[in-house]
Amino acid sequence: MRISEIIHERVERYRDRNFLKAAMAASALTAYADGSVSVSERFKVEEILERLERLHIYDAQKAVAKFEEYVSELEDNTDQAEKVLLGKLQRVASDRDAADLIAHIALEISYADKYFNRAERMQFDVICDALGLQAKDYTEELH
């Protein structure tokens, strides 16, 4: 790898670090919305990481470890962890493209088990609010 490629990759990685944390925060909040994380939700997170071009600069295993860390924090102290994780979302809210992509990630995880339950809907509203988005703009796509 040439030096210019290394520099470009590191700049991209640094720039998207907040995006990765926000994406994993939204993923954890969504998956844990009903008080537990299902196998299908964990699989969906891994699938999204493999598919998203914007996250290819990161080691998928490290990203999954970040997701698991956030889930563990939610299990240990849900209220405190939610505040911290929502703060990670707010850090990327000014980047409309990032916020939009994170909302779509959260929605896809919500549907990992083919059912968008009440707890997931409520959490999705909170996530969108933290991102400065209107949840109905995304959920209307589903009907």
pLDDT the model gives residue 119: 95
pLDDT the model gives residue 3: 61
pLDDT the model gives residue 2: 64
Over the chain (143 residues), the average pLDDT of each successive run of 10 is 60 70 96 94 90 74 93 97 98 92 92 90 97 92 57
pLDDT the model gives residue 96: 92
Q: Is 49 exposed, middle or buried (0-12, 13-18, 19+ CB in 10 A)?
A: buried
pLDDT the model gives residue 138: 87
100 vs 92: CA distance, rounded Å: 10
pLDDT the model gives residue 140: 78
Measured from the Cβ of residue 62, the count of other Cβ atoms closer than 10 Å reads 12
Q: Is 76 exposed, middle or buried (0-12, 13-18, 19+ CB in 10 A)?
A: exposed
